[in-house]
Amino acid sequence: MEVNFQEIEKKWQKAWEEAKIFQVREEKGKKKFYVLEMFPYPSGTGLHMGHAFNYIIGDVYARFKRMQGYNVLYPMGYDSFGLPAENAAIKQNIHPKEFTEKAIENFIKQQKSLGLSYDWSRMIKTHEPSYYKWDQWIFLQMLKKGLVYRKKALVNWCPECKTALANEQVKNGRCWRHENTEIEIKELEQWFVKITDYAEELYEDIDLLEWPENIKKMQKNWIGKSHGININFKIKGKTWPVFTTRPDTIYGVTFLAISWQHPNLFEIVTKKQKKEVEKFLKKIKSTSQKEIALMEKEGVFTGSFATNPLTKEKIPVYVCNFVLAEYGSGIVMCVPAHDQRDFEFAKKYNLPIKIVIQPENKKLNEKEMKEAYTEEGVLVDSGPFTGLQSKEAREKISDFMEEKKIGKRVVQFRLKDWLISRQRYWGTPIPVIHCKNCGIIPVPEKELPVVLPEKVVFGKGNPLETAKEWLKVKCPKCKKEAKRETDTMDTFVNSSWYFLRYCDPKNDKKIFDKEKVKYWMPIDQYIGGAEHACAHLIYFRFYTKFLRDLGLLEIDEPCVKLFNQGMVHKDGSVMSKSRGNVVLPEEVSKKYGIDAARLFLLSMASPDKDIEWTDKGIEGSYRFLLKVWKYFNKVKIGKSSARLESKYNKTVKEVTNDIENFKYNIAIIKLKELFDSFDEEESKEVLEGFLKMFSVFCPHITEELWHKWNNTFISIEKWPEWKEEKINQQFDEEEKDVEKLIEDINNLVWLLKRKGKTPKKLFVYVLPTDKFYLEFVEKIKKKTNLETFIFLTNDKNKYDPENKAEKAREKKPAIYLE
């Protein structure tokens, strides 16, 4: 290596840190910009290029905005509570705290070596009591408002994690942390956060966000809003509401289906059918969650009949495996003719199929139907509603039922309350006390934080149960002996408000200073992976809205703009420790320097796309850096041509725009093109402007080169501005004409060579109106490797033995070779 890039990197990283140039504080007159990457869980294995990519994308943006004159908040911290640390602790016999702190130390070291421009003074670690104290405080506020509650419910249980999970942590019937572990459904008493109270707002406000469309869609689907009506069916003299979005099919209902998990199922099961139903339940319970979803639709008659409130018909009620207990009312009205599931079920159990909606263009017939007709149409056999369009009928029938008080329009959400209690150690203790006399009593705010005890035994059950001293506590109400809650909070709680704490990370009096948060929030640019679409990215919106309602925030949404970066692949699959295809930044750095790695990662493709890491590829970036290095070490500062100035200004304009829109790859290409057209002498403005723009991608080498002429930091220099009047479109066109000419010349040379002639001299004849070609003698010479002469066609003294000059046309010079 001709240049010791590693040395340069270290030197500037240290200098930046010592000069504290990336530290910020609120400045009234200065426009702020908050750039944030989703903070990492500090895994024991450290970070590889895949992780690095994420931070580098953010760093470029932060540097760019900073140079543009914004007061940029760009912090980093660690989401340091979580199961992996606890599991590692058990495996390696090391305390989770020690394990985590070591991992964090390693992360910091690695991140610093990437040249990231964080304000490290604001670092937060969620496992520290100074942070999780406020998790507990928020919990208590929610408790006060009735937003957290304890309930016995059917919950997702991961036998591997040995804890309950939130719905968002179940992927395809399996645990989000254990791809091969099937979730069990258990009935347990757990703590829930009533996120559903905010479902409407969470759903509707998605439209206000400038987020990638797919993420917005995923959230909308997850929250799942649907309009419908609860219709009252009478079963055994009692009223049971049944939710449907299709009241227009009410005349086609031939049976009801109740979920096998319905809490009040046995109220409607008759004595005669009890055995049968129990047998059925036993069978489903022995089937795994995933298989139930794939299972054929099955059910058993409950023995009861329901009365259709409109038709007064008696219809049988079945208990079924395909009805969800947690959605709607857990009972559905079944219209086999117009719902595929109902159709399949009816076919299997020989239940009647009754058509009440006919399509416009053909006529359905019960006997010939192969599948349900679920589209719109005209109502038939529907009493007074016959003949209406189904869409219209939905409204009319709903109106009618509301009038008669047999139904009520409702909005249903798919989103469920957030189960936040975990039966594990390494998390925020839930700040409540169980008292035999008083029940569940919140820990008084002034006693926060409830510090996680360090002396516990791992391996069996919840380790907190072994912290005997810690468990014992006086009931705050009756002062008698009581017991602490041993459940801890889901780690997603910690990450739901960390972005607020960055605004005031050391406050020990309050969760944060309202004014400081007001200054920095919202996050102007958030960067992270799409995998958080339905968990973190919903939770942090929910927290924001809740804290707003507490009067602590004045914003409705935590972040307006979100960017999803692509994944880094290697050898065809996503880079990951478990696949064993990781590339470590420190190793790349040793060989090529971290600037080359940054440049390569960002020039490969648009940063929102997946990219493939190749060792060859980075060599290309490295070569370019060497070229830049050499050039700047010998360039003379002087004047630039009008042509170059035009190109420079155009580049500034375009690169500014490209970076703003995350088209880093395009920006880099344009910078490379600008660099390629540099001469041995260029103006200071141009050279410095290039370095400044390039510095957001390769901060170390540019900082070093900058210091040849300056003693300020390029990292906080002012972003170059372009002068529109210097951009001359014609120069571009002329350049293209010259390229074309060179192509023609080379084509000719190739032809001649095929005929055994090797030309040495080149004569070009241009029309007097195309004078600009004369300026390119050197370029043409270089690109053709021929001794080059350019004449104007009206030049009396031109050398032209074959009268080629006659052939010259506008923008098509004549060529003679010999």
Minimum Å gap between C-beta 620 and RNA is 3
418 beta partners: 193
For 705, the 3-state DSSP assignment is helix
In the complex, the smallest distance separating the C-beta of residue 35 from RNA, rounded to whole angstroms, is 22
Q: Which is nearer to RNA, 294 or 479 (CB)?
A: 294
CB of 108 to RNA, least distance (A): 30
Q: Going edge to edge, which strands form the sheet with 439-442?
A: 439-442, 432-435, 481-484, 472-474
Nearer to RNA, 218 or 300 (CB): 218
Least Å distance between CB 248 and RNA? Answer: 11
Task: Count other C-beta atoms under 10 Å from residue 522's C-beta.
Answer: 17
Q: Which of 171, 98, 37 is nearest to 525 (CA)?
A: 37
Closer CB to RNA, residue 122 or residue 174?
A: 174
Question: Closest distance between RNA and the C-beta of residue 517, in Å?
Answer: 31
Q: How does DSSP classify residue 461? A: S
* Structure tokens given for 130: 């100074």
Q: Which of 475, 486, 501, 420 is nearest to 453 (CA)?
A: 486
d(CA 469, CA 458): 16
Identify whether the C-beta of residue 652 lies closer than 8 Å to the C-beta of residue 658. Answer: no
Q: Which is nearer to RNA, 197 or 818 (CB)?
A: 818
Residue 1 or 457 having the CB closest to RNA: 1
Least gap, CB of 684 to RNA (angstroms): 24
Q: Within 13 Å and on the Cβ side, how many CA atoms surround 498?
A: 31
Residue 60: CB minimum distance to RNA, A = 16
Residue closest to 78 by CA, chosen among 26, 118, 109, 38: 38
DSSP string, 249-307: GGGG--EEEEETT-TTGGGT--HHHHHHHHHHHHHHHTS-HHHHHHSPP-EEEEEEEEE
Closer by beta carbon to RNA, 355 or else 714: 355
CB of 700 to RNA, least distance (A): 20
How crowded is residue 4: how many other Cβ atoms within 10 Å of its Cβ?
11
* Nearest residue (CB) to RNA, 85 versus 764: 764
CA distance 741 to 757: 20
Would you say 127 or 414 has its CB closer to RNA?
414
Torsion angles phi and psi, residue 47, rounded to 5: -115, 145
Q: Closer to RNA by CB, 104 or 698: give it.
A: 698
Q: What is the Cα–Cα distance from 357 to 379, expressed in whole angstroms?
A: 5
Rank residues 56 and 435 by Cβ distance to RNA and give the closer one.
Answer: 56
CB of 134 to RNA, least distance (A): 29
- Least separation in angstroms between CB 636 and RNA: 19
Residue pair 309/401 in contact (Cβ under 8 Å)? The answer is yes
User: Which of residues 433 and 602 has its CB atom nearest to RNA in the complex?
Assistant: 602
d(CA 413, CA 662): 35
- DSSP label of 36: E
85-94 contacts at long range (C-beta below 8 A, 24 or more positions apart) = 85/44, 85/426, 86/424, 86/425, 86/426, 86/458, 86/463, 88/44, 89/426, 89/458, 90/458, 90/459
Minimum CB distance to RNA smaller for 488 or for 646: 646
- Tally Cβ neighbours within 10 Å of residue 756: 6
Separation CA 393–CA 338 (nearest Å) = 15
Query: Cα–Cα distance between 395 and 397 in angstroms, integer?
Result: 6
Distance of closest approach, residue 107 Cβ to RNA, in angstroms = 25
CB 595 within 8 A of CB 115: yes
Minimum CB distance to RNA, residue 244 (Å): 3
Residue 119 or 168: which CB sits closer to RNA?
A: 168
- Strand partners of residue 763: 789, 816
Q: Provide, rounded to whole angstroms, the least separation between the CB of residue 779 and RNA.
A: 9
Closer of 244 and 496 to RNA (Cβ)? 244
Helix (H) or strand (E) holding 570, with range, is strand 568-570
Structure tokens at 199: 């479902």
CB of 685 or CB of 735, closer to RNA: 735
Whole-angstrom distance, CA of residue 526 vs CA of residue 211: 10
Least distance (Å) from RNA to the CB of residue 341? 5
CB of 412 to RNA, least distance (A): 6
Tokens 């850096």 sit on residue: 625
